[in-house]
Amino acid sequence: MRKDSVPGQLGPEGLLGELESAIMQLIWQRDEVTVREVWKALEPSRPLKYTTVMTVMSRLVPKGVLVTRKQGKTYYYRATATAEEFVAQRAQRAVRDVLASFGDVAIAHFMSEIDGVDPVRLAALRGVVTEERSDAG
């Protein structure tokens, strides 16, 4: 789902901690990075220790947000998904969790909430769903 496709979409900032989000914003702008590159890019606006940045980045690996590649003694990090894909994956996981926990009651509440959505926005959302289905098929 494109971030700009529907007004009012949640961005990655609401799904990550403040420092995680700042780090990921830098990584999403690049292909591959080292901890040192991220640390130096953050340094002018955030006086952080190198080890703090290293710890945060290494913790994003088991969360499935980053993957690493080692070349010599250096680890290179890259995102597993774009920012937009990350948000879509988190939203999909949240919906599945709610449905697994609450079943038909959750579906009924989703339907009730959809009734209150602006028709123009709802049409845009239907277009996004149609686009995603055609991309998947």
Domain ranges of the chain: 1-137
pTM greater than the 0.75 cutoff = no
Tokens found for residue 79 = 């995102």
Let me know: does 74 contact 34? Beta carbons within 8 Å: yes
Q: What CATH class has 1-137?
A: mainly alpha
What local confidence, expressed as pLDDT, does residue 13 receive? 59
Structure letter (DSSP) for residue 12: G
Q: Which residues of 47-64 are buried (b: 16+ CB within 10 A; e: fewer)?
A: ebeeeebbebbeebeeee
pLDDT in tens, the chain (137 residues): 333 333 344 456 567 889 999 999 999 999 899 999 999 999 999 999 999 999 999 999 999 999 999 999 999 999 999 999 998 888 888 899 999 999 999 999 988 988 888 999 989 988 888 887 887 76
